[in-house]
Amino acid sequence: MSGEIAGEIEAEDDGVIVIKRIHARYLLKADASADRDKIQRAFDSHMPKCPVYRSISNSISITSELVIENT
């Protein structure tokens, strides 16, 4: 698995730059016979259990997507 992360920053009224949005794109190579439903369920449940997500999600909008490529 590999990933790509993109963040968007904005300047606050006082000129301080802050991160407003983060998008994580996960790239998974899987055998064509892999159970896609199980993979998706695991992916869907990971963010609520992630310490980083739990720490910053109240102040930064975080989205993610999973792209599965056949091997």
**Which residues, in sequence order, are bridge partners of residue 7?**
22
The pLDDT of residue 49 is: 94
pLDDT in tens, 28-70: 999 999 999 999 999 999 999 999 999 999 999 999 999 999 9
Q: Are strands 61-70 and 2-11 parallel, antiparallel or unpaired?
A: unpaired
* Distances, alpha carbon 35 to alpha carbons 41, 43, 47, 59, in Å: 10, 13, 20, 35
Rounded to 5 degrees, φ, ψ at 16 are -75, 130
The pLDDT of residue 19 is: 97
